[in-house]
Structure 1
């Protein structure tokens, strides 16, 4: 239902039933927007350093429905949260994530680049995030370049199973990746956990490609630059949901609302949720 229809209905009710329903009529905008999942991209990264506890705590405070996290692996086999395959951009260190031990990664400052108030923020572990946030906020888990970390799918599955997060009653766990073969594997390992495929390639939006994704994926998550109303309708017709990224402006958020996507992945949760 469009905003115009909702507002019109609210006005009609207020005329018929007085001030109580006039108050009721003021709420549809919030109600409409809450139909879209608000996903904090690497946490509330517009305001805090990405993939850190500070960013995730802020996302929860800002009422995000999900936090999105990037999972990689240290040299000695620990699952850690960082987006780039090197530590250079977001820490005071240098080198490839997979070439550094967990202790080396943990010793890095992952916050000061964003501001003095974040000095000392550390690279979190996957297990820490599960323990701290499950039951409080949904967790959208991205396997980042899983081809670099053979067996990472099994590791992630094991960590989820140990916490009973592979069961259907825990609906707010989703796993996604740009690596489609990895997602097929995850679907086999965790058949009750929703799987998403990421893309910015228009070649992945053909009818044939979407049909193939629908055989194992529950979410089709494209960059917002390739989102169209037709694409959203196609995805929905195949029984999948669609979440789009990465929103860094109010205009982009508003565009995706108009497209009727199911989730908006954003650095700024307040652009998506009018309660902020």
Structure 2
């Protein structure tokens, strides 16, 4: 995810929900349990982001949660990649020099499978591939990890929410055990998060951004988490979020991103956040005295 401005939810979306009641205030972060540590795009400080190697590295470090990004190919395959272009993290310019601007949506899954998604990170990672969503969740399952899945650029891929849920269902990730404890689906798009909630109400969801406090009850109609950039956080904001009850009858949670240094990790942990998304999960875990479950 990028630290970028997030478009406001449409007036129609908010108008239907703003009058929803909130729960009594919930005291976030009482210090008895450290925040959950989530490996951003896998352990992406130590292996090429969003690859199976990054999942493996997170597992090697003992990190239970990994985050990823999902896009869609020209022929309808879901792949795990952050950017809507293949240029930054693959050798697509060499392999397909005449296909600028190298958008994911303009390449088939077979073409993307040919690309080297590791050499940009370092010679030791040469030959790493862009995984499909199926390949990715199977690797996460192999390590008994948990998944924070981001639907990326949903406006580019109509219907991606339903398709993502179908893949998760086919891979066994929508059973009671996974849904209750091992899966969150998030997006910068409030409409996309709401769609996921409407299609599969049992799935835990997160909105990436920092909505105004007055609008939090609207988001709580379809989102279990409010997941802001760490630069937009304060103790007061976290407390305001936790004072609102989400769609599953529990206080809204806060997973913040992207924190890579120990001092900042301790600071946001002190705000009472529920989770910290980081490229350096070992550093953050050490700073907050162990990863939450």
TM-score for the superposition, normalised by structure 2: 0.79
Shift of residue 167, structure 1, vs aligned partner:
3.1
Shift of residue 88, structure 1, vs aligned partner:
0.7
Out of 207, 217, 235, which is 2:213 matched to? 207
* Residue 123 of structure 2 corresponds to residue 116 of structure 1: yes
Which residue number corresponds to residue 165 of structure 1? 173
Gap runs ≥5 in structure 2: 1-30, 94-101, 245-250
Which residue number corresponds to residue 4 of structure 1? none
Shift of residue 251, structure 1, vs aligned partner:
2.0
Which aligned runs of 4 or more in structure 1 are off by greater than 3 angstroms?
32-35
Out of 154, 173, 181, which is 1:146 matched to? 154
Which residue number corresponds to residue 235 of structure 1? 241
TM-score for the superposition, normalised by structure 1: 0.84
Out of 227, 237, 250, which is 2:262 matched to? 250
Other structure's SS at 2:46 match: coil
**C-alpha distance after superposition, 1:80-107 (max 9, x if no partner):** 0110110111111140000011111111
**C-alpha distance after superposition, 1:250-276 (max 9, x if no partner):** 222111111110000000011222269
Which residue number corresponds to residue 29 of structure 1? none
Distance 1:144 1:36 in 2: 25
Q: Which has the higher contact order (CA 8 A, sep 6+)?
A: 2
Gap runs ≥5 in structure 1: 1-31
Which has more helix, going by share of residues?
1
Which residue number corresponds to residue 88 of structure 1? 87
* Residue 224 of structure 2 corresponds to residue 218 of structure 1: yes
* CA root-mean-square deviation: 1.6
Which residue number corresponds to residue 137 of structure 1? 145
Distance 2:33 2:51 in 1: 25
Other structure's SS at 2:134 match: helix
1:34–1:104: structure 2 CA closer, same or farther, 3 Å change rule? farther
* Residue 46 of structure 2 corresponds to residue 38 of structure 1: no
Shift of residue 207, structure 1, vs aligned partner:
2.3
Out of 254, 260, 268, which is 2:272 matched to? 260
Other structure's SS at 1:158 match: helix
* Residue 191 of structure 2 corresponds to residue 181 of structure 1: yes
Paired residue total: 241
Shift of residue 164, structure 1, vs aligned partner:
3.2
Q: Which has the larger radius of gyration?
A: 1
Which residue number corresponds to residue 48 of structure 2? 49
Shift of residue 169, structure 1, vs aligned partner:
2.1
Moved more, 222-231 or 164-173: 164-173
Moved more, 61-70 or 79-88: 61-70
Shift of residue 131, structure 1, vs aligned partner:
1.6
